[in-house]
A and B are shown apart, each in its own frame.
Chain A
């Protein structure tokens, strides 16, 4: 496995050297060349993959990284091409991005906004990355997105589910393919009403930070609109590991549904604890007690083991989707790595393709040109059906999955089953409801 180490900067430097002679330093003021940050000048272009490699989301980050590597392989014309064959836009030709071979650098976000920004900055300042992508939490996504806006590079968000990413904290240089809390609520509510009835009393446990708040709000609003009553909503600390003292009072409250607005380790623990308390065998108000997890992640759900059986939640994507795009992706990912991809891997793979395609259609790596190409872009063939990258808030609109923990899993990957594919029309909303200002695109230097 040999690989040339020529970076964009190296090429600039060498070129500059040739012109200026050995002893004379050449000044390259940041503003004097090419009109935007890290414009690729050589035969390669560098992308920055910023994913959690340590901390609780390390496995999710590893899955994202595998998806990125696969995407790079496909963009450079390797492998079986994956979703390039099913993607509705045909601008990509498997010769890198507009003829430049794709190279990448990786970094560790540690799921901390400071560390994530440090890592992204080193990609931009040291490695000359022209696009940053990745992440497994909304805090990190929002922080890195703001950084990319300042630096003048494009940010393609990885897994981030908070409304804020393309709501209150949206930025002109940032784009999100993943769905959000609002869509989860809108997709889940009708299914819950069908399965559990319209007369339910819900008890919310909510992770005490931004993502938790927006998710609780979304699920509350949409379930209350169907006639559910919210008995109580209790906030739980992020660092909590044992949720027993929050779950114990649930039965006494008269609630017959427990909504766990938790993600990752919090979700695994609170769900495990709730099942331990035997909540799901109980009858309250003459109905079976039910538990709901608004955002499901198959990778994390594995930690909860058998506890997720029969529990409803929502997901951005699942490997068992039958469309051609999903099948092509699962096939090439599965063949390379031996296990089906997670939804985090899917969104990261798709984001990379979408970025490359936008560059190809715009004919330039200039962030403003790329943003223009992505804004209002309608595409299909990347899973999730026909999708729109909305211009007003840079959020993708597409079908959302309602999933359920599978009763009889056939393997360790086969944990969720798709209950319904909620059509895009049902989860759309007005771009202005979350406030925030997009600003204007920043090409940097």
Chain B
């Protein structure tokens, strides 16, 4: 039982990342009708916002350490961050420690700007073009973004740790009456799950309860009529693109302590997030979220060794197998609308 609870936790955690990415993808697709292959790159750029900020905080000048030498025998230079000079060592190191959460504040404006520039500069010319053209241009953009990041940050993963207080793990088993060590879970992953829930909730609330959201939803249903009513739907859709980019970026920022970011992390998530979106049903926000969590949980269960011993290789294919079964039994995924992307 405790093993199952543990895998459900894992599933929720993986599912949060899938759901956040799929949510943004669906927002763009649902509002603009664009298949955005650069969405994974947005996730990656979000993660590198965190990397950039922590590098900015850690900008240092060199101070020689007396009595020690480096690998070539020259005097050893130790880095002292400028931030220590400004705020003193205690506050300075606390700021560096909290770089990842602080990056959220940094990433939101950056990602919205990236999203709006992308939409105005490129995507808007592709609304009327076939989906194949949209795929090609956004894929090209994804490669370019990825290569630019690689040029500046290298190909290796860059460690971006969580604040000290969130390192380590929490023993949830004791709370539920199990023995110690039976259900331990990393604190930061719990934070990630909570964060994802808040972001998803906020997006839904925004669409459901604000006038802006109402107009956008109306535009998703029938863009032309909304336009005829004299509402500038294009402007709102641009903002939605920025919002979707911000959601992907935030997912990336918070993901950095879980896995050290590298330049191709977006591509790694891209295919998976498309599977999630399609399984959820094209154009359905709740579908995307539900499919994210469902696939996350199933993937976790499939990686248990009891299951692998029973069906070798199941952990390799589970996501795709589930996708096939769902698409064959439910023609438009879990909650898809009829006629969307079916031709």
A residues in contact (CB < 8 Å) with B: 54-59, 208, 232, 234-237, 239, 241-242, 244-246, 248-249, 251-252, 265, 268-269, 272-273, 276-278, 281-282, 284, 299-300, 302-307, 319-320, 330-331, 334-335, 340, 410-411, 413-414
Contacts and interface: CB of A to CB of B under 8 A. Distances in A.
Contact of B68 (A55, A57, A208, A410): A410
Given A245-B303, A410-B78, A411-B76, 11 more contacts: A54-B155, A56-B262, A236-B315, A241-B265, A245-B14, A248-B7, A276-B186, A276-B189, A303-B156, A303-B157, A410-B70
Interface of B: 2-3, 6-7, 9-11, 13-14, 17, 68, 70-72, 76, 78, 150, 154-159, 161, 167-169, 181-182, 184-186, 188-189, 257-260, 262, 264-265, 268, 299-300, 303-305, 308, 315-316
A295 to B, nearest CB: 16
Contact of A305 (B13, B159, B299, B300): B159
A434 to B, nearest CB: 24
A234 B307 CA distance: 11
Most B CB within 10 A of own CB, among A299, A300, A303, A305 = A303
Contact of A304 (B3, B154, B257, B260): B260
A272 B316 contact: no
B189 A237 contact: no
B168 A278 contact: yes
A416 B76 CA distance: 17
Contact of A55 (B11, B155, B258): B155
B264 A251 contact: no
B150 A58 contact: yes
B186 A59 contact: no
9 contacts: A54-B155, A241-B265, A245-B14, A252-B2, A272-B259, A278-B184, A303-B157, A304-B157, A304-B159
A299 B71 contact: no
A340 B73 CA distance: 12
A244 B15 CA distance: 12
Contacts of B72: 330-331, 334-335
A244 B161 contact: no
Instruction: Report the 10 A-B pairs with minimum CB-CB distance, sorted nearest first.
Output: A305-B159, A303-B157, A58-B155, A278-B169, A276-B186, A245-B300, A245-B303, A245-B10, A59-B156, A59-B155
A320 B189 CA distance: 37
A79 to B, nearest CB: 15
B7 A273 contact: no
B260 A242 contact: no
A240 to B, nearest CB: 8
Nearest to B303: A245
A38 B90 CA distance: 64
Contacts of B13: 244
B315 A237 contact: yes
A54 B7 CA distance: 35
Given A56-B155, A303-B159, A269 B184 contact: no
A268 B157 contact: yes
A300 B158 CA distance: 9
Contacts of A413: 71
Residue among B159, B181, B182 with most chain A CB within 10 A: B159
B159 A306 contact: yes
A296 B264 CA distance: 22
A245 B299 contact: yes
B6 A249 contact: yes
A154 to B, nearest CB: 29
Contact of B260 (A239, A272, A320, A335): A272
Contact of A284 (B7, B181, B264): B181
A414 B78 CA distance: 13
A302 B13 CA distance: 25
B184 A242 contact: no
A335 B76 CA distance: 15
A277 B156 contact: no
Contacts of A246: 303
